[in-house]
């Protein structure tokens, strides 16, 4: 062990300095923290309205759990594809990167398709049958606000990832840009995990 | 915020944990146990899954504390929000 290394044994490593190369990642984390506050407020508001309501229906008896469990699985798998695409671009394997990021985009599109189907089914068949409707009942209103806000984030993620895929293909973006896009996509997955539990299962 | 110099996490291991927890979550709602136990189990599993995603997929485990503190802020706000609204949720 060198003298310099010996001196630092047992000393906590210093934090990496905030260099311009890292500003993008810091900016994304700050954005995600703000976005998490928006989702957090919506979920807490949902919980309070539900608690205050005397006739809140059991969500699993109205909402399709099997479909949303599949949608949860899809987002988890797409998160794995995202980290695999990042790993590939960090190793300089562009072909593998393109394959996995394309799968992430496809996963996002299938998720949105499932959500469109779910909404259509609820609006046209299920909710009228239970005398629940958007704007008339808090159950329906909070459901559409929360899942709709999340759906907009998935839409944004699909567009963002597509832009990253094109930019990397044209050598305009590098691995650090993919890492930042990955943070956003994992956040979308993380929020859905919470929505799935609080809105669909509980 | 180091460039990725840490050893690559076992992503497939994390995936299997997330999958198992999701299956358990769906199974729990069909188990005939008291409501409070269902709530505790579901919330615990959801927080575990969210933590796994943040630590390993978002690499928070390998980042400096500054980023962990930024990530923690929204949760502190949520706890604060719940505490401030408690008098309205459980009126005397």
Q: What is the ipTM of this complex?
A: 0.86
CB atoms within 10 A of CB B63: 20
Q: Is residue A81 part of a domain?
A: yes
The answer to whether the Cβ–Cβ distance between B89 and A196 falls below 8 Å is: no
- Amino acid A8: pLDDT: 47
Mean pLDDT of chain A: 87
- Amino acid B91: pLDDT: 66
Q: What is the pLDDT of residues B11-70, one digit of tens each?
A: 999 999 999 999 999 999 888 889 899 999 999 999 999 999 999 999 888 888 888 888
Q: Is residue B46 part of a domain?
A: yes
- The verdict on B52 and B84 lying in the same domain is no
Q: Is residue A149 part of a domain?
A: yes
Average pLDDT over residues A144-164: 96
Q: Is residue B47 part of a domain?
A: yes
Q: Give me the domain span that covers residue A123.
A: 28-201
- The verdict on B22 and B36 lying in the same domain is yes
- The verdict on B13 and B54 lying in the same domain is yes
A14-18 contacts, C-beta under 8 A, 24 or more apart: A15/B64, A15/B65, A15/B66, A16/B1, A16/B2, A16/B64, A18/B1
Smallest Cα distance from B9 to chain A, Å: 10
Of A133, A159, A148, nearest to A195 (Cα)? A148
The answer to whether the Cβ–Cβ distance between A44 and B11 falls below 8 Å is: no
Q: Note whether A107 and A77 are within 8 A (CB).
A: yes
Q: What is the pLDDT of residues A30-72, one digit of tens each?
A: 999 999 999 999 998 898 888 888 888 888 888 888 899 999 9
Residue B3 pLDDT exceeds 70: no
Smallest Cα distance from A183 to chain B, Å: 6
Q: Give me the domain span that covers residue B26.
A: 9-58
| Chain B residues in contact with A25 (beta carbon < 8 A) | 1, 67
Mapped onto helix, strand or coil, the DSSP state of residue A161 is helix
Q: Note whether B71 and B54 are within 8 A (CB).
A: yes
Helices (H), chain B: 11-28, 35-52, 65-89
- Structural tokens at position B2: 């180091």
Residue A185 pLDDT exceeds 80: yes
Q: Is residue B3 part of a domain?
A: no
Is residue B92 within 8 angstroms of chain A, CB to CB? no
Give the residue from chain B lying closest to A14, CA to CA: B64
Burial of residue A152, with CB atoms counted within 10 A of its CB: 0-12 exposed, 13-18 middle, 19 or more buried = exposed
We report the CATH number of the domain holding residue A37 as 1.20.120.80
Q: Is residue B19 part of a domain?
A: yes
Residue A193 pLDDT exceeds 70: yes
- Amino acid A39: pLDDT: 93
Structural domain count, chain B: 2
- Amino acid B16: pLDDT: 95
Q: Note whether B73 and A33 are within 8 A (CB).
A: yes
Structural domain count, chain A: 1
- pLDDT band, very low/low/confident/very high, at B6 (cuts 50, 70, 90): low
Facing A197 at nearest CB: one of B8, B25, B77: B25
- The verdict on B42 and B19 lying in the same domain is yes
Of A79, A112, A88, nearest to A182 (Cα)? A79
- pLDDT band, very low/low/confident/very high, at A17 (cuts 50, 70, 90): low
CB atoms within 10 A of CB A78: 25
d(CA A86, CA A179): 6
Q: Is residue B43 part of a domain?
A: yes
d(CA A149, CA A100): 26
CA B38, chain centre distance (Å):
17
- The verdict on B24 and B45 lying in the same domain is yes
- Whole-structure pTM value: 0.87
- pLDDT band, very low/low/confident/very high, at A127 (cuts 50, 70, 90): confident
Q: Is residue A148 part of a domain?
A: yes
- The verdict on B53 and B70 lying in the same domain is no
Measuring CA to CA, how many Å separate A188 from each of A39, A146, A184, B42, B48? 11, 13, 6, 20, 16
Residues 6+ apart with CB under 8 A from B19: A73, A76
- Amino acid B66: pLDDT: 83
- Amino acid A199: pLDDT: 92
Q: Is residue A9 part of a domain?
A: no
- The verdict on B51 and B15 lying in the same domain is yes
Q: Is residue B4 part of a domain?
A: no
Average pLDDT over residues A156-164: 96
């Amino acid at each position: 062990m060198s003298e310099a290394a010996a001196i630092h044994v047992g000393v906590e490593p210093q934090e990496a300095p905030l260099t311009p190369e890292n500003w993008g990642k810091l900016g994304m984390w700050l954005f995600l923290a703000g976005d998490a506050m928006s989702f957090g407020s919506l979920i807490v508001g949902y919980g309070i309205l539900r608690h205050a309501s005397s006739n809140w229906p059991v969500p699993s008896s109205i909402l399709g759990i099997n479909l949303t469990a599949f949608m949860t699985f899809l987002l988890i798998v797409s998160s794995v594809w995202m980290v695999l695409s990042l790993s590939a671009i960090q190793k300089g394997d562009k072909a593998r990167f393109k394959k996995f990021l394309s799968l992430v985009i496809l996963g996002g599109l299938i998720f949105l398709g499932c959500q469109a189907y779910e909404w259509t089914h609820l609006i046209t068949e299920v909710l009228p049958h239970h005398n629940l409707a958007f704007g008339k009942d808090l159950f329906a209103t909070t459901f559409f606000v929360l899942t709709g806000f999340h759906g907009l984030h998935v839409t944004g993620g699909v567009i963002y990832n597509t832009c990253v895929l094109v930019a990397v293909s044209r050598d305009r973006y590098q691995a650090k840009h993919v890492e930042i896009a990955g943070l956003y996509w994992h956040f979308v997955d993380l929020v859905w995990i919470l929505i799935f539990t609080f809105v669909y299962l509980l | 915020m180091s460039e990725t110099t840490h050893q690559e996490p076992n992503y497939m291991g994390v995936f299997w944990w997330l999958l198992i927890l999701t299956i358990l979550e769906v199974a729990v709602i069909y188990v005939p146990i008291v409501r409070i136990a269902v709530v505790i189990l579901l919330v615990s599993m959801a927080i575990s899954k969210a933590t796994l995603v943040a630590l390993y997929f978002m690499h928070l485990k390998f980042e400096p504390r500054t980023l962990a503190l930024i990530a923690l802020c929204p949760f502190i706000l949520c706890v604060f929000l719940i505490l401030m609204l408690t008098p309205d949720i459980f009126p005397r």
